[in-house]
Amino acid sequence: MNSGARTYTDARSVTCRIHGRLDLSLAPMLLGAWQRADVQHRNYVIDLAEVNEMYDSGLALLSALGRRAHRLGHRVRVVNCSPGIAQRCADTDHSGLIVTQTT
């Protein structure tokens, strides 16, 4: 399965819904969505419901986004994680990330 992402913006947040694998190849898309967002968007949501594999580089990308958001006073929520991905995030320094596991 190819990996990629779709970006949605509403009045309060920017949401990136990732599909396939989460790795460093998605960095330009995620950072681009962040940079194109209006200043009013202080909430970023990364939806992992369709992620079937997360590489170490993908975890590092999430951590970097979380740290950057934290420095700017913004918030990154990672939602719809599988239990395995949620555990990997919990085991890693992910300052600035709020991780939500699916049931």
pLDDT, one tens digit per residue, over 19-66 is 999 999 998 888 887 777 666 667 889 999 999 899 999 998 888 888
Give the pTM.
Answer: 0.85
Domains annotated for the chain, with CATH where assigned, are: 4-72+83-101 (3.30.750.24)
What is the mean pLDDT of the segment spanning 85-93?
Answer: 80
Q: CA 53, 55, 44 angle in degrees (round to 5)?
A: 85
Q: For residue 65, which of 49, 43, 87, 40 has the smallest C-alpha distance? A: 43
Q: Is the pLDDT of residue 14 over 60?
A: yes
The per-residue pLDDT for 48 is: 94
* Distance between CA atoms of residues 93 and 36, nearest Å: 27
